[in-house]
Chains A and B, each alone.
Chain A
Amino acid sequence: MEDGSIRIKQERYNKVFITIIPFGAFFIALFLGAVLIFLAGINPWEAYNYMLYSIFGNLRLFSEVFTHFVPLIFCALSFAVAFKGGFFNVGQEGQLYFGALTGALVGIYIQGLPAFIHIPLALLAGFIGGAFWCWIAGILKIKLGADEILNTIMLSYLSILLINFIVMYFLKPANSYISQSEKIARSAYFPKIIPNTQINLGVILALLIAIIVYIFLFRSPAGYEVRAIGENLEAANHAGINIIKGTMTVIIISGGLSGLAGTSIVMGTQYRLIPALSPGYGFEGIGAAVMARNNPLGIILTTFLFAFLRVGAGAMQRGVGVPLPISWAIEGIIMILVTASEYLSNKISANLIGGRA
């Protein structure tokens, strides 16, 4: 399908080559990981085998992969959209928490709605919460030219501590000792797709939204505008594109996606707001997005990989005694090598098209 896209399609031979390279890098990373495991005095073959079999052989562990997958993919998409629009949102973690708060409020305090209204309503609230938190950094950038990298990070700390405080002093039931809110209404729970597992509506939602984001970016006029601004602000301005409006669109979407990450944890896993909601999904999501070159479809793959490794790390520790830090190191090596390999494939594709004298 030659006419399927207005993005560049490499000629076939170098396209195949370029697709192979990141996978090659991935396997080299696994090999280096094996060396690390070996140095820790454990048989790497056994460790990797155990990881694979325990996850694919156990429905509970397998479904746990999806509890990580859903928030991760939202965070990665959040970073990718903003990046494409030239806005460096690295405050996914904080926006996640704020979206969890607003989503949870709708889940807890609105009662008696049917699920098909309550669920979208809570999701919308979560989207708005995350979008609002990102908007603060955005308006600071647009009005004052303040650096968004710094502001989104700082706002993350603020958000996490704020939610901590709100849960402790306002949402905690008076008779409880544990710092957590009440449960959200049943009608706001994500329905399970496979009973007795964590595979719920959130998974479908996440995949659907990844595809929507892809279509938005590459097939819609608004997404075109966003990419034009991100690639060359001056040219976009000269072309008559409204830069402020476009940047605002990006900020709202990016923040909203992070908000959905938080809401999806509340509605799919925890069913209540707790202070330690995210074990760093925001930051890991950025890694997954970078590894996928901010392509929403690639992000589906990379976030799944990260979620898998997260569960696998726990399994390897329990089963064969691979220390967690070694698993983290393996994850880091994969990220570095795959990302670096992209520069290599870029270089190769440039050379094959022909250098210019």
Chain B
Amino acid sequence: MVQEIILSLKEITKIFPGVIANDHISLDIFKGEIHSLLGENGAGKTTLMNILYGLYKPDKGEIIFKGEEVKIHSPRDAINLGIGMIHQRFMLIPRFTVFENIILGQPSEKPPLLEKEKLHEKILRVAERFNIKLDLDVPVENLSVGTQQKVEILKALYQGADLLILDEPTSVLTPQEAQNLFKDLLALKEQGCTIIFISHKLKEVMQISDRITVLRDGKVVGTKKKLETNFQELSKLMVGREISFTIKKKDVQPGREVLCLEDISMKNKKGLRLLKNISLSARSGEILGIAGVDGNGQRELADAICRLQKIDSGNIKMLGQEVSSSSPRRLYEQGLSYIPADRKRYGLILNFTIAENLILKDYYLPPFKRGLFLNVPYINDYSKKIIVAYDIKTPSHLVQASKLSGGNQQKVVLGRELSKCPKLLIVMEPTQGLDVGACEFVHNKLLDERDKGVAILLFSTDLDEIMSLSDRIAVIYEGEIMGEVDPRKADVGEIGLMMAGVKYLEKEVVDG
């Protein structure tokens, strides 16, 4: 079968000071295919696409689009050629309606008049053709993230794009929304659109693509047809070594109860219930997974346990003691470790050095403190040890945390929280935005802690992660626990329903 090549990149090279982001990349995209660019963070996927979209200028190489060599100097050029890009962060104005956002930036046909009705019609026709259902007159801020993404796609199509670039489109979506997106993408393909799909998630790439190009360290390491490849091969290409997908877990041996929540409720200032009568317990040596779509009270629950937010009613007991009169610091001293979700915002001080970040919770205690001063030599030795133990890739312990990659940043947080031998560990989204290698590292560390007898409360929106790590799973929806299941017996559909708010009736007692 001979396929028409719509886009061909030849020897594209882009050098940033100190790093070769794209190293002689050559790539052909067939018309009407879904082509994935797979690679770890920093492999050069986004840089390559930014070059194609006119955001960066390549140092070398040529772009041949629809048979002609083109020079793309700006996104405007790209749009005129028919290339549309959906960024990881949407470029929409929240207060504008869908309609206003779509026509934004498009010159009117009869300036200074804006023929709203005519444009409205035109957009509807495009939407109909690609089978995208959207209400054009709703302000974008009222839409869910998945729908906002649809707006972005419709906007690109309306501007005449027949090659769509999606940069990590599922990173902001729930599993269900992601499936809907895939359906839409397949429909677009039917209509003759070509799609470049950027991702570091193997599973998605295997589901949606026709062909897959793997990038590593700025180079193309292989292009495969989906039907002729598998997980193992792709991951090996991507990381450069074998990755085990099946997590080896020892049998659970739960010990005494470390955390006990009784009937916890929390309201916000407006009186809205954020947590409703939550009762849970976690024992040492087990991982209690808390599944749920983002924003259903996970953060509030974790913060409540750490006493960072006050609860309105209920009891929290850690190691048999009531925590309601404690401060976060007291709890940390008693053996609580908390790894919050957004590490850049809550877990790290980005302008501090690695050494400074490693002592963030202990700086006031000996031996980190000596007399009135920080014990600098000790802190330095300590940091070097942690850097080795947690395999943090950095030239020195005096490098700012902001200069590290996401995976290494998370290792700094892990190093800080785990090295003080916690009894209770609360982890939120521990692998969000991390590449495969770093995920594996984090998962293994968590399992090590579990085997050492730590009680772990794992909050994650990534159902695969919850399923593979947890010994028990509780599902949270709008601040309420919908049910508790055993991961060995439960199926994903059941949990998915609970995540969407359907209560699990026949609660089974799960024991180890």
Q: Which A positions have Cβ atoms within 8 angstroms of B? A: 3-9, 215, 219-221, 224-225, 227-228, 231-232, 234-242, 351-357
Q: Are A228 and B218 in contact (CB under 8 A)?
A: no
Residue of A nearest to B361 (CB): A239
Q: Are B374 and A240 in contact (CB under 8 A)?
A: no
Q: Are B405 and A221 in contact (CB under 8 A)?
A: no
Among the stretches B15-23, B123-131, B147-155, B488-496, the one at the interface with A is: B15-23
Q: Are A238 and B398 in contact (CB under 8 A)?
A: no
Residue of B nearest to A3 (CB): B380
Taking CB atoms, residues of chain A closer than 8 Å to B379 are 6
Taking CB atoms, residues of chain A closer than 8 Å to B351 are 231-232
Q: How close is B42's CB to chain A, nearest CB, in angstroms?
A: 5
Q: Are A221 and B369 in contact (CB under 8 A)?
A: yes
Q: Are A219 and B18 in contact (CB under 8 A)?
A: no
Q: Are A221 and B374 in contact (CB under 8 A)?
A: yes
Chain B positions 320-376 with a Cβ under 8 Å from a chain A Cβ? 327-329, 331-332, 338, 340, 345-353, 355-356, 359-361, 363-364, 368-369, 372-374, 376
- Bound-state Cα–Cα, A235 to B361, Å: 10
> Chain B interface: which size bin?
35 or more
Taking CB atoms, residues of chain A closer than 8 Å to B308 are 237-238
Instruction: Using known A-B contacts A3-B376, A356-B42, A357-B19, determine if residue A224 contacts B347 with beta carbons closer than 8 Å.
Output: no
Q: Are B46 and A357 in contact (CB under 8 A)?
A: yes
- Bound-state Cα–Cα, A355 to B347, Å: 23
Q: How close is A215's CB to chain B, nearest CB, in angstroms?
A: 8
- Bound-state Cα–Cα, A351 to B403, Å: 11
Name the one of A6, A9, A238, A241 contacting B340, with C-beta atoms under 8 angstroms: A238
Known: A3-B377, A221-B368. 6 other contacts (CB 8 A): A3-B380, A9-B398, A220-B374, A224-B359, A225-B364, A235-B349
- Bound-state Cα–Cα, A4 to B383, Å: 14
Question: Can you report 12 residue pairs joining A to B where beta carbons are below 8 Å apart?
Answer: A4-B376, A6-B379, A220-B374, A221-B364, A224-B356, A228-B349, A232-B345, A232-B351, A235-B347, A238-B340, A239-B361, A356-B42
Q: Which B positions have Cβ atoms within 8 angstroms of A? A: 16-19, 21, 42-44, 46-47, 218, 306, 308, 327-329, 331-332, 338, 340, 345-353, 355-356, 359-361, 363-364, 368-369, 372-374, 376-377, 379-380, 383, 396, 398-400, 403, 405
- Bound-state Cα–Cα, A232 to B350, Å: 8
Residue of B nearest to A10 (CB): B398
Q: Are A220 and B47 in contact (CB under 8 A)?
A: no
- Bound-state Cα–Cα, A275 to B280, Å: 67
Taking CB atoms, residues of chain B closer than 8 Å to A352 are 17-18
Q: Are B218 and A235 in contact (CB under 8 A)?
A: no
Q: Are A240 and B328 in contact (CB under 8 A)?
A: yes
- Bound-state Cα–Cα, A201 to B331, Å: 48
Residue of A nearest to B369 (CB): A221
Q: How close is A241's CB to chain B, nearest CB, in angstroms?
A: 8
Q: Are B352 and A351 in contact (CB under 8 A)?
A: no
Residue of A nearest to B332 (CB): A240
Name the one of B21, B327, B355, B373 contacting A220, with C-beta atoms under 8 angstroms: B373
- Bound-state Cα–Cα, A8 to B379, Å: 14
Taking CB atoms, residues of chain A closer than 8 Å to B353 are 6-8
How many A-B residue pairs have C-beta atoms within 8 angstroms? Tell me: 113
- Bound-state Cα–Cα, A232 to B342, Å: 13
Taking CB atoms, residues of chain B closer than 8 Å to A356 are 19, 42, 403, 405
Q: How close is A231's CB to chain B, nearest CB, in angstroms?
A: 5
Residue of A nearest to B357 (CB): A235
- Bound-state Cα–Cα, A7 to B354, Å: 9
Q: How close is A152's CB to chain B, nearest CB, in angstroms?
A: 24
Q: How close is B400's CB to chain A, nearest CB, in angstroms?
A: 6
Q: Are B398 and A8 in contact (CB under 8 A)?
A: yes
- Bound-state Cα–Cα, A5 to B377, Å: 8
- Bound-state Cα–Cα, A351 to B17, Å: 6
Taking CB atoms, residues of chain A closer than 8 Å to B403 are 353, 356
Q: Are A219 and B405 in contact (CB under 8 A)?
A: no
Q: Are A224 and B405 in contact (CB under 8 A)?
A: no
Q: Are A219 and B377 in contact (CB under 8 A)?
A: no
Residue of B nearest to A228 (CB): B349
- Bound-state Cα–Cα, A351 to B400, Å: 14
- Bound-state Cα–Cα, A142 to B310, Å: 19
- Bound-state Cα–Cα, A221 to B327, Å: 19
Q: How close is B365's CB to chain A, nearest CB, in angstroms?
A: 9
Name the one of A227, A234, A239 contacting B345, with C-beta atoms under 8 angstroms: A234
Residue of A nearest to B20 (CB): A357
Q: Are B356 and A6 in contact (CB under 8 A)?
A: yes
Taking CB atoms, residues of chain B closer than 8 Å to A225 are 363-364
- Bound-state Cα–Cα, A97 to B415, Å: 49
Residue of B nearest to A6 (CB): B355
Taking CB atoms, residues of chain B closer than 8 Å to A231 are 349-352
Q: Are B352 and A357 in contact (CB under 8 A)?
A: no
- Bound-state Cα–Cα, A5 to B356, Å: 10
Q: How close is B332's CB to chain A, nearest CB, in angstroms?
A: 5
Q: How close is B245's CB to chain A, nearest CB, in angstroms?
A: 27
Taking CB atoms, residues of chain B closer than 8 Å to A221 are 363-364, 368-369, 373-374
- Bound-state Cα–Cα, A351 to B19, Å: 10
- Bound-state Cα–Cα, A243 to B331, Å: 17
Q: Are A357 and B218 in contact (CB under 8 A)?
A: yes
Q: Are A240 and B329 in contact (CB under 8 A)?
A: yes
Q: Are A355 and B17 in contact (CB under 8 A)?
A: yes
Instruction: Using known A-B contacts A238-B338, A239-B361, A351-B18, determine if residue A8 contacts B399 with beta carbons closer than 8 Å.
Output: yes
Q: Are B360 and A239 in contact (CB under 8 A)?
A: yes
Residue of A nearest to B42 (CB): A357
Q: How close is A82's CB to chain B, nearest CB, in angstroms?
A: 17
Residue of A nearest to B377 (CB): A3
Name the one of A7, A9, A220 contacting B372, with C-beta atoms under 8 angstroms: A220
Q: How close is B208's CB to chain A, nearest CB, in angstroms?
A: 24
Q: Are A232 and B18 in contact (CB under 8 A)?
A: no
Taking CB atoms, residues of chain A closer than 8 Å to B19 are 354-357
- Bound-state Cα–Cα, A357 to B13, Å: 13
Taking CB atoms, residues of chain B closer than 8 Å to A239 are 360-361
- Bound-state Cα–Cα, A241 to B359, Å: 12
Q: Are B346 and A228 in contact (CB under 8 A)?
A: no
Taking CB atoms, residues of chain A closer than 8 Å to B380 are 3, 6
- Bound-state Cα–Cα, A8 to B350, Å: 12
- Bound-state Cα–Cα, A228 to B329, Å: 15
Q: Are B347 and A238 in contact (CB under 8 A)?
A: yes
Taking CB atoms, residues of chain B closer than 8 Å to A234 are 345-346
Q: How close is A142's CB to chain B, nearest CB, in angstroms?
A: 17
- Bound-state Cα–Cα, A357 to B346, Å: 24
Name the one of A5, A228, A240 contacting B352, with C-beta atoms under 8 angstroms: A228
Q: Are A238 and B346 in contact (CB under 8 A)?
A: yes
